[in-house]
Structure 1
Amino acid sequence: MTPRGGGRGFRSRLQAVPGVRAVSTYRREWLLKDLVAGAVLTTLLVPQGMAYAELAGLPSITGLYTTILCLLGYAVCGPSRILVLGPDSSLGPMIAATVLPLVASGGDPDRAVALASMLAVMVAGIMILASVAKLGFIADLVSKPTMIGYMNGLALTILIGQLPKLLGFKVEADNLIGECVGVVEKVADGAVVPAAAAVGLGGIVLILLLQRFLPKVPAVLVMVVLAIAAAGAFDLGEHGVGLVGVLPAGFPPFTVPDVRLGDLAPLFAGALGIALVSLADTISNASAFAARTGQEVRGNQEMAGVGVANLAAALFQGFPVSTSGSRTAVAERAGARSQLTGVVGAGLIVLMLVLAPGLFRNLPQPALAAVVITASLSLADVPGAARLWHQRRTEFLLCCAAFAGVALLGVLQGIAIAVALSVLNVFRRAWWPYNTVLGRVPGLEGYHDIRSYPRAGQLPGLVVYRFDAPLFFANAKTFRDQVRRLAGADPRPAWIVIAAEPMTDVDTTAADVLADLDEELNAEGVHLVFAELKDPVRRKIERYELTRTIDPDHFFPTVEAAVTAFRLRTGADWTPGPRPPGAVQPPDASRPPDASPPHGTSPPPTDGR
């Protein structure tokens, strides 16, 4: 007998499934809009799915299988109402870089499909586990400058890699430089197929023009239809142009990926990189479209939804997928209101495979290359890199390093370099944080950076010093050396007041360094004084027993309180800072002026690095 209330518990758990919740809250007035949006979306899903499958080194039909199942999987478990998933141009090269080395030259396509499907299983597992562990913050491991560099390198890699297909020949190479050399040699040897080049280059120009001047027109669909018509009218297959051919008919069969045990380790390494890029894409796209539709972003649910979509694709001969900003934008512009749009798209693709598998048999391969190349151009952000050059050179160098990693070492190595550079940049900022001496500025409350205000007043015998980072093992010696330098000034200060508000932590290594430093300074008649130390950090200092060396009376709630205590003990009075060349010395710099700085002026930045 079912316990009373058990039915309600089951229903509440069922309602927690996003797809069930979407059905129960569906509005009748959305139906027509979703049906129309689904039909419009399909015109983009089919050519892009086929093109991105070939970009991943897989048969074009697997792109359609992947599209169908990932849309259905996300419709059940994805929280976003309109986010569209599918094969992605940024993942294609990563899939190829992982799978193709495991497949011998000219190897079995079925083995490549099985490896790609197992890769999708691993990506699904990583995403679902990350969702359960609430690890959505991992997407933040890649900073924007390194991601710009990675995407620029990826765009260049895709562009060069698609040129042979665009121009009608093949190039055997293992890296970007080899591909560039191969393309140049083939062009010089006259290997270009004129008809293929005309279709490919014409397709790129047509897509870019339509996207620029008629953004509401489905540019990819128009180009594909014209390319198919041209192939039939001019018999392009007889002029050396590769065609897609008739696709296998019917719904994809349920297939458990069968791979060798030795393939699992390299597949897992690739899955980690793919999962990271997919996670970053998912969070950024979900945030962007949620802000426009008034939805709340559920990062962990999004990861679970993408994980289920990957698993569904993997069990039907698919490969890893991610969210797509371009396809989601198409669905949104077409009036999509729910995931029924994606379900309609998946259903129409199934109907095409069952009823008209030969619909795209005359689609030229250069047209697919044109689709991929135009997609790669949207990945690149050259203005973003130029902006970094003008705004912050160190981050521009990070961008260039990530770009070089992708271009010279490969896409998987490039994402590893991007993550490593981002983490190292965070560590560098904590290792060598900004630090400065503070002084009193006439007309401004508080204490301010003397680099920004060279005339800031100082108290003889006292230095106010700010170190803008938590104290931990990596930067404790940097802090010690800076304080030693201040203590060795002539005349020697009696107090060095640490403006400790930025110090959010002190670890045991830093505590030992502080203890030794305080004893060393005390022997020289200099005392360390702390102001604005956070309560949790103060409790750690007491737990480390640092108050045995640092006088408990040398902890103050504010810098002003510490300065006031010093003045009461010593009778010191303010003196002006160094006078800038050409400046006029005021009659009494120790007395605060009556006027504030001129209206509209602002201090220079305190951190110019």
Structure 2
Amino acid sequence: MAVADLIPGVRVLAGYRREWLPKDVVAGVVLTTLLVPQGMAYAELAGLPAITGLYTSVLCLLAYAVFGPSRILVLGPDSSLGPMIAAVLLPLVVADGDPAKAVALASVLALMVGAMLTVAAVAKLGFVADLLSRPTQLGYVNGLALTILIGQLPKLFGFSTDGEGLIGETVAFVRGVAAGETVPAALAIGVSGLVVILALRRWAPKVPGILVAVLGAIAATVWLGLEGRGVSVVGPLPQGFPPFTVPSVEWSELGLLAAGALGITLVSVTDTISTASTFAARTGQEVRGNQEMIGIGAANLAAGLFQGFPVSTSGSRTAVAESAGARSQVTGVVGAAAITLLLVLVPGLLKDLPQPMLAAVVIAASLSLADAAGMRRLWRQRRVEFALATAAFLGVALFGVLPGIAVAVGLSVLNVFRRAWWPYHTVLGRADGVAGFHDVRSYPDAALTPGLVLFRFDAPLIFANARTFRDEIRHLARTEPAPEWIVVAAEPITDIDTTAADMLEDLDEELNAKGISLVFAEMKTPVRTKIDRYKLTRTIDPAHFYPTIEDAVAAFHPRRRT
């Protein structure tokens, strides 16, 4: 395998065009204005010091530039992962509240996620992203958005709570407001910043709303002396860059970390593949799922070795880079360099950034995550999938982020199983003016042939639905007058397992005893091969397999004349 296949950054450098450089530099600088406040805000969302968000941003950008296959995708701290990281760390650090321990745990979590992603890529397990169906993703993300919003309200109002879970946090927030704990100056600066971000996003999307709001909040804090009025600020950041660090944790903590890493890995893969597909479609690039996992795996490993935490793709930051003219991952390298210069040369630049402003950044992100329109669309289009989305939403909202992802995955898998368990099935007839045979539910006036039933079963015939198939055939056999042939339109049946084969053998003998023949039409060659392998033609007449439904009907009519 070529080096360029393992390290896509080599291919980018080999084909880099000189005219791209000015655009990549400008896009990198523009991107930095978003990376810094969001990185700090999402670090605090994850229960970590704000500075770790900047460390994480630098390392993941550099690692993805080397190992990531996309020319434009931007990785970094993510609002959807923040609550998941916090859910893992909180039980492990709540006893002593040590920030250094929290950082070490988060770094180990990032290393675990990176290792899982790398192993999954080598094993070509990119399909695991399909474990979250679109409806369950929608419900999960909406539940996550609400959880983030409620969790940030106390900080926006200038106080803190110790509530746990959505309900607990909501109750604690309401009690805090009722008890007069709100800091008016904090609420004013936070709400003002939120309004600026949302207004510019809506009416001037090309203006960096977060940067405008952050700079305005810093200026107001300094000029109006808001820190003296009870507004918490970020404070001075540590100068310089963290050294290479191999984090260490207790053996007893690895179990919870591994479980959290698994959930974060699944969400990260799903988010990255979907975002990569969206932007690849715009630029005509091909999505390489397994290489994407290597790219985000490398980003997580790099972050974990420099006091960082798990990262994923950011659709919003990628969109900013694209609109700013980014041509390659040099944009991310420029962003990483700019953040590094900030840490080395002017670490005090953000010391007066008010904490309510960071809460406003996170709340704005949560509002962009929410998709009420998607829920309404599901309600109109398919009520069953709306119910799945609602269940995933409630799973996150009521049980927490990590149990919520387990609920979402479980619902997706159960929905697939439900469709295989109770697939659509119908009787076919010949409708006037339409060629062929069609569903009598769609064509109620379709003509049926006396003595002949055409039955279509829209799923592979497997252990889960073998009884359903058998019961439907039995029901058709009991109709009056009793049919002579039951023809199975088998084109949708893509497989028959051994459980279903045994059922077919018993069913055919049962029907033969009643003078009814079980006939198949349009069976696919691989499925017919399995029929022969199972030796079902010992009971099912080998002549009762027809290439088309028309052939089966034509064979039935001469038989009726005799």
Superposed pair shares fold, TM > 0.5 = yes
Aligned twin of 1:584 = none
1:410 to 400, 406, 413: 400
Aligned twin of 1:218 = 208
1:190 to 169, 175, 180: 180
Aligned twin of 1:132 = 122
Aligned twin of 2:388 = 398
Aligned twin of 2:489 = 499
1:32 to 12, 18, 22: 22
Correspondence list, 1:370-519, <5 A: 370-519=360-509
Residue 106 (structure 1) shift = 4.5
Residue 105 (structure 1) shift = 3.7
Residue 104 (structure 1) shift = 2.6
Gaps of 5+ in 1: 1-8, 573-609
1:93 to 71, 83, 91: 83
Moved more, 100-109 or 259-268: 100-109
1:67 counterpart = 2:57: yes
Correspondence list, 1:152-191, <5 A: 152-191=142-181
| Aligned CA-pair RMSD | 1.0
Aligned twin of 1:269 = 259
Aligned twin of 1:55 = 45
Q: Distance in 2 between matches of 1:81 and 1:553?
A: 58
Residue 138 (structure 1) shift = 1.0
Aligned twin of 2:549 = 559
Q: Distance in 1 between matches of 2:63 and 2:108?
A: 17
Aligned twin of 2:299 = 309
2:351 to 361, 365, 382: 361
Aligned twin of 2:233 = 243
SS in 1 for 2:350: coil
Q: Deviations over 1:84-130 (max 9, x none)?
A: 10000000000000111111345211111011001101110111111
Correspondence list, 1:531-550, <5 A: 531-550=521-540
Identity of aligned residues (%): 69
Aligned twin of 1:593 = none
Amino acid corresponding to residue 155 of structure 2 in structure 1: K
Q: Distance in 2 between matches of 1:520 and 1:214?
A: 72
Q: Distance in 1 between matches of 2:476 and 2:192?
A: 68
Q: Distance in 1 between matches of 2:444 and 2:274?
A: 43
Aligned twin of 1:521 = 511
SS in 1 for 2:377: helix
Q: Distance in 2 between matches of 1:295 and 1:549?
A: 54
Q: Distance in 1 between matches of 2:533 and 2:150?
A: 60
**TM-score normalized with structure 2 length:** 0.99
Residue 14 (structure 1) shift = 5.1
Aligned twin of 1:595 = none
Moved more, 154-163 or 440-449: 440-449
Amino acid corresponding to residue 166 of structure 2 in structure 1: L
Amino acid corresponding to residue 311 of structure 1 in structure 2: L
Aligned twin of 1:598 = none
Residue 282 (structure 1) shift = 0.6
Moved more, 154-163 or 453-462: 453-462
Q: Distance in 2 between matches of 1:63 and 1:187?
A: 30
Pair 144,14 (structure 1): closer, same or farther in 2 beyond 3 Å: closer
Q: Distance in 2 between matches of 1:507 and 1:20?
A: 48
Amino acid corresponding to residue 122 of structure 2 in structure 1: V
Correspondence list, 1:587-602, <5 A: none
Q: Distance in 2 between matches of 1:110 and 1:181?
A: 30
1:201 counterpart = 2:191: yes
C-alpha contact (below 8 Å) 2:110/2:304 kept by paired residues: yes
C-alpha contact (below 8 Å) 2:3/2:10 kept by paired residues: no
Aligned twin of 2:7 = 17
Q: Distance in 1 between matches of 2:158 and 2:538?
A: 79
Q: Deviations over 1:336-358 (max 9, x none)?
A: 11111110110111111111010
Aligned twin of 1:45 = 35
1:228 counterpart = 2:218: yes
Gaps of 5+ in 2: none
SS in 1 for 2:349: coil
SS in 2 for 1:416: helix
Q: Distance in 2 between matches of 1:105 and 1:376?
A: 29
Amino acid corresponding to residue 542 of structure 1 in structure 2: D
Residue 56 (structure 1) shift = 0.1
Q: Distance in 2 between matches of 1:265 and 1:15?
A: 34
Residue 173 (structure 1) shift = 1.3
Aligned twin of 1:327 = 317
SS in 2 for 1:272: helix
Q: Distance in 1 between matches of 2:496 and 2:61?
A: 49
Moved more, 145-154 or 101-110: 101-110
Amino acid corresponding to residue 279 of structure 1 in structure 2: V
Aligned twin of 1:605 = none
Amino acid corresponding to residue 397 of structure 1 in structure 2: A
Residue 21 (structure 1) shift = 1.1
Amino acid corresponding to residue 229 of structure 1 in structure 2: A
1:120 counterpart = 2:110: yes
Q: Distance in 2 between matches of 1:214 and 1:105?
A: 46
Residue 571 (structure 1) shift = 3.1
Amino acid corresponding to residue 509 of structure 2 in structure 1: E
Amino acid corresponding to residue 443 of structure 1 in structure 2: G
SS in 2 for 1:358: helix
Over 4 Å off, 4+ runs: none
More helix by share: 2
SS in 1 for 2:427: strand
Amino acid corresponding to residue 470 of structure 2 in structure 1: R
SS in 1 for 2:518: strand
2:335 to 342, 345, 352: 345
Q: Distance in 2 between matches of 1:459 and 1:90?
A: 58
Q: Distance in 1 between matches of 2:71 and 2:85?
A: 28
Q: Deviations over 1:437-495 (max 9, x none)?
A: 00011111111001111111111110000010111111001000000000001100000
Aligned twin of 1:260 = 250
Residue 395 (structure 1) shift = 0.6
**TM-score normalized with structure 1 length:** 0.91
Amino acid corresponding to residue 491 of structure 2 in structure 1: E
Residue 13 (structure 1) shift = 2.5
Residue 16 (structure 1) shift = 4.5
SS in 2 for 1:359: helix
